[in-house]
Chain A
Amino acid sequence: GENVEQHPSTLSVQEGDSAVIKCTYSDSASNYFPWYKQELGKGPQLIIDIRSNVGEKKDQRIAVTLNKTAKHFSLHITETQPEDSAVYFCAAARGGSQGNLIFGKGTKLSVKP
């Protein structure tokens, strides 16, 4: 069935460095790709999203790139800060009528001061 693979599962960086998380998807009909941040004890919260008609989108220190041909998309966080520490999930909107988003398994990002 449809699937979203996310790598790495854990990522540790020094404050100020960049962090990159990569996802691949299998459903070629997917056309919406959001990224969610989940802090401990809270529900996921959208941080950025991209649609299939766009190759890149930026919002301050975060950016997302999409390669529809290769069916992969990536989250880039620059100048990381300790408050960026969280679990990040990528997702893809499933084509057809089978429901909502398919999520990757998450990346635990730790930013060391």
Chain B
Amino acid sequence: NAGVTQTPKFRVLKTGQSMTLLCAQDMNHEYMYWYRQDPGMGLRLIHYSVGEGTTAKGEVPDGYNVSRLKKQNFLLGLESAAPSQTSVYFCASSYRDRNTEAFFGQGTRLTVV
């Protein structure tokens, strides 16, 4: 049982490039989330999804887009990367609703130069 898997684990982008981060979960969870973690800032919610085909904005959505075409996958896209998007990105999923345990992936360290 893999849990929550994120790919890639590391990436370096040039300013203006685009990329997609993939999150896959095998626990049949309804809810999925994308967070970013910056030093001294904790975890901040970018976007989330409450089920296949749904997405919603979190605290810091600007510059990111997401899609949830399949229940097990949640994609995070950066259309035109900026240095301010240098961060560690975590995907998480939870069963049914927000008041249950969230399972996190191992993270993707993204550097935009």
Contact = CB atoms under 8 A, between A and B. Distances in A.
Contacts of A93: 98-99
Interface string A92-112: 011000011111111000000
A99 B98 contact: yes
A43 B40 contact: no
A43 B106 contact: yes
Interface string A56-89: 0000000000000000000000000000000001
Given A99-B56, A100-B98, A100-B102, A44 B45 contact: no
Nearest to B38: A105
Contacts, number: 62
Contact of A100 (B33, B40, B41, B106): B33
Contact of A43 (B44, B59, B101, B104): B104
B43 A103 contact: yes
A45 interface: yes
Contacts of B4: 43
A32 B99 CA distance: 6
A91 to B, nearest CB: 8
Contact of B90 (A9, A32, A43): A43
